């Protein structure tokens, strides 16, 4: 197989294997646990390397993954003492474990051909050079096999326990009541995340594993609220970043992992800005729209309250209702476009439709049920603010 294709294949597999547990981490508000795990596996890797002398040995992966799970246990233990909050507990545990790893490497620099750089940053370009030989036959790069097996296990577990994971992610109480132990699922997820991080660090480095886990899931979460769609979307984002990142790195002669993350960053920023409902621009637009519509409502209520003509004069209205942010003209135009008011000789009066709307609006204000107002707007408005 061509080296280029091999590298891209590894990148794609790593991206998918990271994206799946990432979705659940983001939904469970545990995104930073992945950061902690990715750093604190270092001592596990070093000790594993002492024993096995092989970065791709399954024993090393298990040992390092165990360190990851120990991190989670430690964080929870510290949190349980009530002395510090959860985020502080995370922030205390992983730098300490990481430091132990760095010192272990430094003290045994002669025996360990391990570089903290390599662990932190990884280098995908070298991955195909370490081949797996079965009976003397070259069957492909080792890391491709390692990540492939991890991905298979992840997908297998996801399909088997999808329902349980879904319930325990969104409703811990219900899941416990139905008999799926949230604790077992929690530690299962933590174990899978640890194994994935350990398997992936060689290719993309410990820090960028975090990007591959969180960014696709977060981007997908901005686009959908459906768990299945979110999983599919994050896998798509992961694969896009893997292939796009490879070619950008190729072009600039730079780190593949770095450019994969950069692609993820660009995709996230695009979605963050332009996502249809939850994107920044959509949110700002909706806020402006709502501000206009609230002003319109105030304006209509004012009209409803006042029979006398002086109160209903266009000029007077500008002063009377305190509109500093929203131009009164916008509101007036909107009301007229929607046939809620009629203007005769600068005097504003409610139309029949306007009266009905105001009545309903008053009722809404008294009962204060949020879901009603949107229906009302849909019924009455031809144009939105």
Partner 1 sequence: MELSEYFSQLFSDYTLRTITLGTAILGAICGMLGSFAVLRKQSLLGDAISHAALPGIAIGFLIREYQIDPLEKVSVLGRVFNKIVTVIQWVLDLFGGGTNTLLIGALISGVLGTFLIRGIINRTHLKTDTALGLVLSLFFGFGILLLTFIQKQPNANQAGLDKYLFGQAATLVESDVILMASVTGVCLVILLLFWKEFKILLFDADYTKTLGFNTRFIDILITFFIVLAIVLGLQTVGVVLMSAMLLAPAAAARQWTNKLSVMIVLAAIFGAFSGVFGTAISASQNNLSTGPVIVLVTGVFVAFSFIFSPGRGILFKQIRVYKNRRDLKLQKTLQFMFDIAKMHNDISHPHAIKILNNFQGYTRGTLKELEEKEWVAVQGQKWSMTEKGYDAAANLYNTN
Give the residue carrying structure tokens 């002003």: 295
Among 2, 81, 134, 137, binds partner 1 (CB under 8 A): 81
Residues 93 to 122: which contact partner 1 by CB under 8 A?
95-96, 98-100, 102-103, 106-107, 109, 116-117, 120-121
Phi/psi at 141 (nearest 5 deg)? -65, 145
Q: How many residues does the chain have?
A: 385
Give the residue ranges of DSSP H helices in 138-279.
142-160, 162-170, 172-178, 182-204, 206-223, 227-252, 256-274
Residue 92 touching partner 1 (CB under 8 A)? yes
Residue placing its CB nearer to partner 1 in the complex, 69 or 210: 210
Residue 259 touching partner 1 (CB under 8 A)? yes
Cα–Cα nearest to 20, from 305, 292, 228: 228
Residue 221 touching partner 1 (CB under 8 A)? yes
To the nearest whole angstrom, how small is the minimum distance from the Cβ of residue 98 to partner 1? 6
Residue placing its CB nearer to partner 1 in the complex, 110 or 310: 110
Phi/psi at 189 (nearest 5 deg)? -60, -40
In whole angstroms, give the CA distance from residue 39 to residue 207: 7
The structure tokens listed for 284 are 């700002």
Q: If residue 141 lies in a helix (H) or strand (E), which one and from where to where?
A: strand 137-141
Report the C-alpha dihedral over residues 86, 89, 90, 94, rounded to 10 degrees: -170
Among 8, 15, 34, 61, binds partner 1 (CB under 8 A): 34
Give the residue carrying structure tokens 């219900």: 174
| DSSP conformational letter for 83 | S
Is residue 172 a contact partner of residue 182, using CB atoms and an 8 Å limit? yes
Q: Which stretch binds partner 1 (CB under 8 A): 200-208, 290-298, 303-311, 317-325?
A: 200-208
Residue placing its CB nearer to partner 1 in the complex, 62 or 207: 207
Residue placing its CB nearer to partner 1 in the complex, 79 or 351: 79
Among 30, 165, 195, 198, binds partner 1 (CB under 8 A): 30
Residues 261 to 300: which contact partner 1 by CB under 8 A?
261-262, 264-265, 268, 272, 278-280, 283-284
Residue 29 touching partner 1 (CB under 8 A)? yes
The structure tokens listed for 155 are 């997908």
Among 13, 167, 218, 334, binds partner 1 (CB under 8 A): 218
Could you give the C-alpha distances from 160 to 164, 168, 209, in angstroms and in order?
9, 14, 25
Which residues would be at the binding site for partner 1 (CB under 8 A)? 26, 29-32, 34-35, 39, 78, 81, 83-85, 87-88, 90-92, 95-96, 98-100, 102-103, 106-107, 109, 116-117, 120-121, 205, 207-208, 210-211, 214-215, 217-218, 221-222, 249, 252-255, 257-262, 264-265, 268, 272, 278-280, 283-284
């Amino acid at each position: 197989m061509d080296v280029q294709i091999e590298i891209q294949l590894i990148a794609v597999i790593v991206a998918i294997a990271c994206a799946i547990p990432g979705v659940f981490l983001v939904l469970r508000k545990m995104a930073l646990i992945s950061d902690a795990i990715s750093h604190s596996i270092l001592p596990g890797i070093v000790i594993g390397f002492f024993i096995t002398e092989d970065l791709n040995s399954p024993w090393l992966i298990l040992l390092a993954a165990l360190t990851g799970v120990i991190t989670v246990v430690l964080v929870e233990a510290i949190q349980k003492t009530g002395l510090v909050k959860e985020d502080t507990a995370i922030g205390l545990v992983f730098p300490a474990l990481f430091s132990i790893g760095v010192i272990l490497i430094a003290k045994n620099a002669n025996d360990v051909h391990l570089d903290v750089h390599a662990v932190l940053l990884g280098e995908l370009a070298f991955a195909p050079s370490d081949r797996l030989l079965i009976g003397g036959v070259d069957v492909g790069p080792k890391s491709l096999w390692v990540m492939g097996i991890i991905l298979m296990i992840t997908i297998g577990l996801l399909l088997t326990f999808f329902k349980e994971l879904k319930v325990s992610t969104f409703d811990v109480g219900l899941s416990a009541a139905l008999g799926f132990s949230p604790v077992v699922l929690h530690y299962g997820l933590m174990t899978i995340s640890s194994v994935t991080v350990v398997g992936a660090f060689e290719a993309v480095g410990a820090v960028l594993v975090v990007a591959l886990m969180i960014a696709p899931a977060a981007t997908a979460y901005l686009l959908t609220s459906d768990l299945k769609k979110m999983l599919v979307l994050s896998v798509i984002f992961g694969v896009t970043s893997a292939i796009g990142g490879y070619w950008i790195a190729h072009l600039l002669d730079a780190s593949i992992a770095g450019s994969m993350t950069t692609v993820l960053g660009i995709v996230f920023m695009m979605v963050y800005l332009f996502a249809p409902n939850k994107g920044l621009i959509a949110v700002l637009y909706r806020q402006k729209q709502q501000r206009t519509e609230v002003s319109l409502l105030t304006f209509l209520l004012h009209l409803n309250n006042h029979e006398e003509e002086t109160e209903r004069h266009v000029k007077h209205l500008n002063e009377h209702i305190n509109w500093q942010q929203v131009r009164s003209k916008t509101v007036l135009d909107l009301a007229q476009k929607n046939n809620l008011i009629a203007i005769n000789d600068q005097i504003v009066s409610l139309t029949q439709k306007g009266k009905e709307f105001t009545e309903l609006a008053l009722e809404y204000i008294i009962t204060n049920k949020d879901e009603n107002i949107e229906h009302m707007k849909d019924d009455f408005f031809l144009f939105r603010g």
